[in-house]
Amino acid sequence: MKLLYIPFDHLHRNYGVLKNADPASDQIVFVQSERMCDPSKWNPIRLYFLISSARHFARQLEAEGFTVHFMVAPTTRDGLESARKKTGIQEIMSAQPSSFRSEAMLADAEVEFVENDFFLTPRGLFHGWADGQKSYLMENFYRKQRVRLNVLMDGKEPIGGHWNFDKENRLPPPKGYQWPGYFRHTPDELDHQVAQELRIEAPLDWATTRDGALMQMDYFFHTHFAEFGPYEDAMTTENWALHHSLLSPYINNGLLHPSEVIEAAKNRFKMGDIPIESCEAFVRQIIGWREYINGMYWYLGADYRNHNQLKAERQLLPLFDHPEKTSMNCVRVSVEDTKSRGWVHHIPSLMVLSNLALLTGTNPQEFLDWMRREFIDASEWVMVPNVIGMGVHADGGQMMTKPYAAGGAYISRMSNYCKPCAYDPKLRTGDKACPFTTLYWDFLDRNRDAFAKNHRMAQQFGGLERLRDREAVKERAQQVLIGLENGTI
Ligand code: SF4
């Protein structure tokens, strides 16, 4: 007899350590660690999703005949030791965990690993690709994935004649558009019990079972898929998720495997009514971005999360925990949405929240911890490259050749946030100046030396040189930074 340890992000019967599991020879251990499940430290919506999904999955394994030990303990290590004592079984096996920290802890607890097959790209294969690159361009990796996995290929050529249809996408939110409704999930008694323990109402936005995740996937492919591409970067207060699939939480906790999602996308595309720009954009997220981010996490190593190349030392701004402390409409809406649902899509996440952390010089690790705490799908392997490499450019350009820094003009073009805002995206000085616009120029000014040799930023620095009111911008930037710290901007 042996114990199989199932982390809360390995909830699939056919993958990881459960692939060849048998109730006659294996018992199951889950650990709900108090460190990772404290509602005063983590967004309760995130905890609800992770805990309730794990408890439902534990029930499913029990129904199959497994003996399941669902341990609640101060730490995962404590839970595993308690399971050993309780059962008298010393041998514990698990699939390779999804973070360096878990890997070290489990290895120390003498847990044996089988391969983590919750991704489409084995870690060794990604290392081989990365070792051969001068710069780790996602687009190059993605094209290799299309060929290797035979997705949207017509022989050796990409279907539709191009690898990437982003030029057709990137549209702002359309005016007077009828957004289809969202799939509402029905919480069961176990969901309500978990929600009660966390002192929240069970949310209707998220499923906590594989059946619910499959329903969400089916709904997306039949209701949102066709329009996904063109509006994937748009932001609007009229609709919180636009045509996004909302599948990342289920792929990240194991309720869905990426191969199942890709198979479903291919089958839906074959029906003939899905534009290639939507299908390609979706496929890129799954076989491109997701795999690339996980690959880079393991490739760049455990110390990568500690980078702070721009020497950003500002403490996390109070608005990240108290969105009412800012009059910046885009920021307030994005933080409120994140808190209430545990999710906003990649553009508010990158171009509003991360952009604010970048431009204000917020300490990367403080901001990373906030993102990990708040987002329902924020695994360590997702957030470390996403924040350190993409969001706040703390790695000196190891991952991205230039920072994702933007002023108010980008947010104004891609959203309806600015009209009711207290600030004007076109202004960079004065009381009505958009803080993003002011801080954008100030960020370039402050970091001139760091980017002096970066040719991809020549145009931005050319713009800075042409500013005639540079001193006034710097002065306003200081007022904005003090105002943000005091909760008055
Ligand atoms: Fe955000 Fe600036 Fe637009 Fe206000 S004006 S919503 S702060 S981008």
Q: What is the pLDDT along the chain (489 residues), one digit of tens a residue?
A: 999 999 999 999 999 999 999 999 999 999 999 988 888 899 999 999 999 999 999 999 999 999 999 999 999 999 999 999 999 999 999 999 999 999 999 999 999 999 999 999 999 999 999 999 999 999 999 999 999 999 999 999 999 999 999 888 889 999 989 998 889 999 999 999 999 999 999 999 999 999 999 999 999 999 999 999 999 999 999 999 999 999 999 999 999 999 999 999 999 999 999 999 999 999 999 999 999 999 999 999 999 999 999 999 999 999 999 999 999 999 999 999 999 999 999 999 999 999 999 999 999 999 999 999 999 999 999 999 999 999 999 999 999 999 999 999 999 999 999 999 999 999 999 999 999 999 999 999 999 999 988 999 999 999 999 999 999 999 999 999 999 999 999
Is 1.10.579.10 the CATH classification of the domain at 305-486? yes
**Interatomic CA distance for residues 489 and 479, integer angstroms:** 9
Nearest protein CA to atom 3 of ligand 1, as residue:
418
Nearest protein CA to atom 1 of ligand 1, as residue:
330
- Residue 417 CA: which ligand 1 atom is closest? 6
Nearest protein CA to atom 6 of ligand 1, as residue:
418
**Interatomic CA distance for residues 399 and 136, integer angstroms:** 6
Is any ligand 1 atom within 6 A of the Cβ of residue 440?
A: no
**Interatomic CA distance for residues 17 and 333, integer angstroms:** 41
For residue 259, the model assigns a pLDDT of: 98
Which helix (H) or strand (E) segment is 5 a member of?
strand 2-5
Q: How far is the CA of 316 from the centre of ligand 1 (A)?
A: 20
Contacts made by residues 480-484, CB under 8 angstroms, sequence distance 24+: 480/433, 480/435, 480/438, 480/439, 481/314, 481/360, 481/439, 483/435, 484/317, 484/319, 484/326, 484/360, 484/435
Is 3.40.50.970 the CATH classification of the domain at 123-195+209-300? no
- Determine the topology of domain 2-114 in CATH: Rossmann fold (3.40.50)
Which is nearest to 421 in space by CA: 434, 410, 406? 434
Q: How far is the CA of 355 from the centre of ligand 1 (A)?
A: 12
Which is nearest to 432 in space by CA: 480, 396, 390, 370? 480
Q: How far is the CA of 145 from the centre of ligand 1 (A)?
A: 38
Q: How far is the CA of 94 from the centre of ligand 1 (A)?
A: 47
Burial 295-311 (b: 16+ CB within 10 A, else e): bbbbbbeeebbebeebe
For residue 325, the model assigns a pLDDT of: 96
With 0-12 CB in 10 A as exposed, 13-18 as middle and 19+ as buried, what is 48? buried
Contacts of 208 (CB under 8 A, 6+ apart): 48, 49, 52, 53, 56, 185, 187, 190, 191, 194
Domain residue spans in the chain? 2-114, 123-195+209-300, 305-486
Contacts of 435 (CB under 8 A, 6+ apart): 328, 408, 423, 480, 483, 484, 489
For residue 40, the model assigns a pLDDT of: 86
pTM: 0.96
- Residue 328 CA: which ligand 1 atom is closest? 7
User: What is the bridge-based pairing of β-strands 26-33 and 153-154?
Assistant: unpaired
Q: How many CA atoms lie within 13 A of 198 on its CB side?
A: 27
Q: How many CA atoms lie within 13 A of 125 on its CB side?
A: 13
Is any ligand 1 atom within 6 A of the Cβ of residue 348?
A: no
CA 133 to chain centre: 25
Q: How far is the CA of 272 from the centre of ligand 1 (A)?
A: 40
Q: How far is the CA of 140 from the centre of ligand 1 (A)?
A: 34
Token pair listed for 94: 């698990």
| Cβ contact 204:184 at 8 Å | yes
User: What is the bridge-based pairing of β-strands 111-114 and 153-154?
Assistant: unpaired
Is any ligand 1 atom within 6 A of the Cβ of residue 187?
A: no
One fold for 2-114 and 305-486: no
Give the type of residue at 84: R
